[in-house]
Amino acid sequence: MSHPLFDLSGRVAMVSGAANGMGRQMAIGFAEAGADVVLVDINLPGAELTAGEIEPLGGRVLAIACDVSNTEQIRNLYATIDSEFGRVDVVGNVAGEGNVGRPEDLPLDKVQEALQNLVVGRFASCQEAGRRMLEQGRGSIINFGSIGGWNSLGRGHTPYGMAMGAVIQMTRELSTEWASRGVRVNAILPAQVWNDGLRKRVAEVPELEETFKGGIPMGRLGNPEEIKGPAIFLASDASSFVTGAILPMDGGNLALNAGGTYPGSPRTYA
Ligand SMILES: NC(=O)c1ccc[n+]([C@@H]2O[C@H](COP(=O)([O-])OP(=O)(O)OC[C@H]3O[C@@H](n4cnc5c(N)ncnc54)[C@H](O)[C@@H]3O)[C@@H](O)[C@H]2O)c1
């Protein structure tokens, strides 16, 4: 039996990156908890596949093509949500890419691109959602950050880390600005979670998996469906007094000192 505090019936939830990975699982989780869902992705056929999985759950579902780095497309997205649903109660800002490269070589436009994708894009979505939620007097925004926005990954991810650090601070600022008017803003920071790109990189360089596991006390990488619990918690009344929280979803990664070891650590036990 599920607890009523986690019930999202009657709420409209928008999730970006809903064609794949954690965005897809977050959207499925919200629908399982009773929400109507708007599935947003640059990959419309992929979002439509997710919609096909959600439809049998009985709620309303709509897939919309949108590039979340493009602020005009974000504005149009919210205008479509207005006309189709008339409200938005939950927003999961999941999609967004960074750029990689040696910091000494990176062209500045690659840095600007990462900031546009992850910071300006997420801010534009928060702003559009926030305006509507403030009017309603209620809403929950969940921004995706990364452990790479908290401390450094040190493998060419400088623009990504800079952007995710800004997403964390943006979350704190917005949560403070809007807390007294019913709008909660929180962030989730995943560590390495399996996705198609990660699988490809590990297939090319198999020792990568052990390196990642060396930083994760749980001794494994995350699975996309593990986003459902934290996301439903933050979206629902179960977290009614939680705002400005920066929640790691990382198997213990951020708790571990860089030189630390733990029982089962691949560096200390055979
Ligand atoms: N997987 C990880 O290890 C990890 C760790 C920390 C943070 N993150 C962040 O979490 C988010 C999702 O990761 P994932 O592993 O679920 O990814 P994924 O690759 O499985 O899925 C990403 C989805 O986002 C969509 N997308 C990409 N760019 C977009 C854009 N500009 N506009 C709209 N949609 C776009 C893709 O089409 C895809 O459906 C990303 O922002 C990523 O940076 C991932």
Start-to-end Cα distance in the chain: 42
Share of the chain above pLDDT 70, in %: 99
| Residue 149 in contact with ligand 1 by CB distance below 6 A | no
pLDDT, position 270: 52
| Mean pLDDT (the chain, rounded) | 96
pTM for this entry: 0.97
Confidence of residue 259 (pLDDT cuts 50, 70, 90): confident
Q: Is the pLDDT of residue 223 over 90?
A: yes
Please list, in sequence order, all residues whose beta carbon lies within 8 angstroms of the beta carbon of residue 95, skipping any fewer than 6 positions away: 16, 17, 23, 40, 41, 42, 68
| Residue 188 in contact with ligand 1 by CB distance below 6 A | no
Answer yes or no: are the C-beta atoms of 11 and 90 closer than 8 Å.
Answer: yes
For residues 194-198, average pLDDT = 95
For the CA of 118, the nearest atom of ligand 1: 41
pLDDT, position 99: 87
Instruction: Give alpha helix (H) positions in the chain.
Output: 21-32, 44-54, 71-85, 108-115, 121-136, 158-178, 196-204, 207-213, 228-235
Domain range list for the chain: 4-248
**CATH architecture for residues 4-248:** 3-Layer(aba) Sandwich (3.40)
Q: How far apart are CA 243 and CA 89, in angstroms?
A: 15
- The predicted-structure confidence for 16-49, as pLDDT tens digits, reads as follows 999 999 999 999 999 999 999 999 999 999 999 9
Confidence of residue 266 (pLDDT cuts 50, 70, 90): confident
